[in-house]
Amino acid sequence: MPRYKLTIEYDGAPFVGWQRQDNGASVQGALEDAARAFCGESVAVAGAGRTDAGVHARGQVAHIDLARERPTDTIRDALNFHLKPHPVSVVAVEPVAADFHARFSAIGRRYLYRILNRRAPPALGRGQVWHVGPALDADAMARAARVLVGHHDFNSFRSAACQAASSLKTLDRLDVTRAGDEIGVEAAARSFLHNQVRILVGTLRLVGEGKWTADNVTAALAARDRTRAGPTAPPDGLCLVEVTYGSAANGRHQAEDASDGE
């Protein structure tokens, strides 16, 4: 059976998350329904990561197996036709080797969290940013973020519902930048714990408000206790920007525990 890699973007607001569930519409479910309408067969869609309810993506990756080969443009256009009116778009389709796996072959994931930092609420992009009215010190947030980069036990920065076997992760990047009224927090790693990015952002907000310092963040990391870190930021501002892959098609033995989701 030919295998195809899909690059997908979506607005996560109307969904219960990426993963198909019984309690509401999911991105995975919308894609599987569209694939069934297109080719008349039951198609399983395997994603690179399980984003939570309300989390967006502009670079989610998935793979599907079809009964026979079809032109990639035909697959893309047919899926998008049947995805209407869901806010989901298949941006690109490409053939891949049979041992490619969207989740297990991934060697990197990059998220961007957007904070709108001004008194006035957003009229445009509502649901795409976290609106924080009080002024935040982005430079202080950036300095505090540096203590979190590297290989650490991030137990303080994962949800109680996280199912990962280990809380040891390597955070490759955690950059905080300001452009006008918007603060962006960009996080990159091979894989993430459940809610890790949102808890990191919620913690950095405390620093931006002057309530915490970088030393407090260091202490929270060392505590390995969820109650010692900051609150979980809302899902609105979080977007899965990119999933990267190495030259080897089969990454089952390359990745850290990738059972994470944001």
Domain boundaries, the chain: 3-104, 107-244
Give pTM, 2 decimals: 0.94
How many C-beta neighbours within 10 Å does residue 191 have? 22
pLDDT beneath 70: ranges in the chain: 248-261
> Could you list the active site residues?
52
Position 253 scores a pLDDT of 40
H or E segment and range at residue 221:
helix 214-223
- Say if residue 20 is exposed, middle or buried (CB neighbours under 10 Å; 0-12, 13-18, 19+): middle
Position 164 scores a pLDDT of 94
Position 247 scores a pLDDT of 73
Phi, psi of 199 (to 5 degrees): -75, -35
H or E segment and range at residue 62:
strand 56-65
- Given this chain, do its domains 3-104 and 107-244 carry the same CATH topology? yes
Q: Are 228 and 156 in contact (CB under 8 A)?
A: yes
CATH of domain 107-244: 3.30.70.660
Position 261 scores a pLDDT of 67
> 78-115 in b/e burial notation, b at 16+ Cβ within 10 A?
bbbebbeebbbebeebeebeeebbbbbbbbbbbbbbbb
- Fold entry, domain 3-104: Alpha-Beta Plaits (3.30.70)
